[in-house]
Amino acid sequence: MKEILNKQAAINFDELIEVLRRLRAPDGCPWDREQTSESLVPYLLEETYEIIEAIEDGDIKTLKEELGDLTLHVLFQAELAREAGQFEIADSIKHISEKLIRRHPNVFDTPNGNQDSDLNMSWEKAKQKEKKRKNLLDGVPKKLPALNRARRIQEKAANVGFDWKDIQPVWEKVEEELEELREVVAEKDPERIKDEMGDVLFSLVNLSRFLNISAEDALRMTISKFEMRFAKVEKELKKRGKEFSDSNLEEMDEIWNWVKKDAI
């Protein structure tokens, strides 16, 4: 059964590549023919976020569809590289398979498989060596959302031991950064306020890491909750024959508190 599934996946994979090449042909789709690696980046990001949304919503049907859409974009990038004589998608697949085996010697019984008991540290060392990176924190994409990037930077530092052993110092750091922010706000120095606000956010991401919570996911969840509650406030105001401009903060806050209690 497993072999049949693998064969079907290979057939479908090849078929998708042929469909893409047909669209890129001289008599294919004008839009597809004019695309470049750079022009496709916004769509690649959009599809990635749609997958994240489907996962968070537990929407398996949409997840199945969006994984297909993202696969198309992966193949599209590879096809553009093939047309330019740079590499084939098969090269990318072979590369990742070899890399996974190389970086998991404990699983695949390759030489030095048990030298490093800390697998995270072993992974980081392997990446540093393969990528010929000068600094440990290199390699975290600068285009990542800031909260996600902060966590990845913190994780890389933690993997080599640059981390607190328990959560108490993390709490203290958050409180320290908040106090420093209060001080510079009182001084009304815009640049220092920006700097200290960044420190506060970075410390909160670190706290979320210790709590095993994604700061990015938590913030998105709160944004969604705010949107839902705000919409209910708007709906209640309309029931009263009002717009936001006709109301005051006291009335809106009163409705907001009702919404929080699920009274509306």
DSSP string spanning 53-121? HHHHHT-HHHHHHHHHHHHHHHHHHHHHHHHTTS--HHHHHHHHHHHHHHH-HHHHT-TTTTS-S-HHH
4-62 tens-digit pLDDT = 668 888 899 999 999 999 999 999 999 999 999 999 999 998 999 899 889 988 999 99
Q: Would you say 126 and 102 are in contact if contact means Cβ atoms under 8 Å apart?
A: yes
* E strand or H helix that includes residue 131: helix 119-131
154-203 tens-digit pLDDT = 999 998 889 999 999 999 999 999 999 999 999 999 999 999 999 999 99
Q: What is the pLDDT of residue 107?
A: 85
- CA pair distance 154, 136, nearest whole angstrom: 11
Q: What is the pLDDT of residue 122?
A: 59
Q: What is the pLDDT of residue 110?
A: 60
| 0.85 surpassed by pTM | no
| CATH for the stretch 2-102 | 1.10.287.1080
pLDDT band at 261 (very low <50, low <70, confident <90, very high): confident
Q: Pick the closest to residue 220 from 53, 51, 44, 43 (CA basis).
A: 53
Q: What is the pLDDT of residue 126?
A: 64
Q: What angle do CA 161, 165, 168 make, to 5 degrees?
A: 140
Q: Delimit the domains of the chain by residue range.
A: 2-102, 164-213, 217-260
